[in-house]
A and B are shown apart, each in its own frame.
Chain A
Amino acid sequence: ETGVTQSPTHLIKTRGQQVTLRCSSQSGHNTVSWYQQALGQGPQFIFQYYREEENGRGNFPPRFSGLQFPNYSSELNVNALELDDSALYLCASRRDRANYGYTFGSGTRLTVV
């Protein structure tokens, strides 16, 4: 197993811009979730994909969107960046809906200036 890898590790964007963060899950992990972790806080659930369809969403506006691909990779897109979007974005995957054992990536640190 290769774990969950995220890219890039760090990113600086200007307010109003758009950003795409990428995640590569372990082979066979059909479920991928994205979390936002503000400094000093616990991760907050953004949304989840199961077999390329969104099957859950947290309290985040529509400018946060995602995709999951058949090769176990996924994307998080954020439009119209705001200063409060500055955070660590974490991708987590698991084998299927019956298995609760999520594996997290190391995250992408996004700074919006």
Chain B
Amino acid sequence: QQQVKQSPQSLIVQKGGISIINCAYENTAFDYFPWYQQFPGKGPALLIAIRPDVSEKKEGRFTISFNKSAKQFSLHIMDSQPGDSATYFCAASNPSNTGKLIFGQGTTLQVKP
């Protein structure tokens, strides 16, 4: 019940295209769903996050869509750029369990020029 499943494992997108990464969870007690971006040799950096009381959150080119009934959420990167090439992790947090982050397995995104 603590798992977060992420897909696809890898993704190749042309510059200017839309990158879509999906995640699914089981534990309905999760109430915070962040996305992290990680470059090689660096730690994860918070990209955008959503709480389950909204269905969508947009920050610049990055949008989270959240489907509470399906227990799924996704990251959309609009107008993808080569600089977006990185590994992306979804995560979920349960406030009654220290607030620790449960991470997905990660998606390696390559944006081709």
For residue B105, which residue of chain A has the nearest CB? A42
Collect the chain B residues with CB atoms within 8 Å of residue A107's CB. Answer: 42-43
B35 to chain A, nearest CB (A): 12
8 Å CB interface, A69-113 against B: 90, 92, 97, 100-107
Tell whether B17 is near chain A: CB-to-CB under 8 Å. no
Task: Give the CA-CA distance A33 to B89 in the complex, in Å.
Answer: 17
Hey, which chain B residues are within 8 Å of A56, CB to CB?
97-98, 100
Residue of A with least CB distance to B34:
A100
Q: How large is the interface on A (under 10, 10 to 19, 20 to 34, 35 or more residues)?
A: 20 to 34
Contact A58 B100 (CB under 8 A): yes
A48 surroundings in chain B (CB, below 8 A): 98-100
Q: How far is the CB of B104 from the nearest CB of chain A, in Å? A: 6
Residues of A within 8 A of B45 (CB): 104
B100 and A42 contacting across the interface, CB-CB below 8 Å: no
Query: Is the pair B99, A97 in contact by a Cβ cutoff of 8 Å?
Result: yes
Among candidates B32, B46, B89, residue contacting A42 with C-beta atoms closer than 8 Å: B89
Say whether A100 contacts B43, CB under 8 Å: no
Any chain B CB within 8 A of the CB of A44? Answer: yes
**Contact partners of A45 in chain B: CB under 8 A:** 100-102
A106 x B101 contact (CB < 8 A): no
CB within 8 Å of B: which A33-55 residues: 33, 35, 40-45, 48, 55
User: B34: which A residues are within 8 A, CB to CB?
Assistant: 100
Distance between B25 CB and nearest chain A CB, rounded to angstroms: 13
Contacts of A4 in B (CB 8 A): 43
Contact B104 A42 (CB under 8 A): yes
Interface residues of B (CB under 8 A from A): 6, 32, 34, 36, 41-46, 49, 89, 91, 93, 95, 97-106
A residues bordering B, Cβ < 8 Å? 4, 31, 33, 35, 40-45, 48, 55-56, 58, 90, 92, 97, 100-107
Q: Which 8 A-B pairs have the closest CB atoms?
A: A56-B98, A42-B103, A104-B43, A45-B100, A100-B32, A106-B43, A104-B44, A43-B103
Show 27 A/B contacts (Cβ-Cβ < 8 Å), sorted by A. Answer: A31-B99, A35-B101, A41-B105, A42-B89, A42-B103, A42-B105, A42-B106, A43-B89, A43-B101, A44-B103, A45-B102, A48-B100, A56-B98, A58-B100, A90-B43, A92-B43, A100-B34, A100-B49, A100-B93, A100-B95, A101-B49, A102-B101, A104-B44, A104-B45, A106-B42, A106-B43, A107-B43
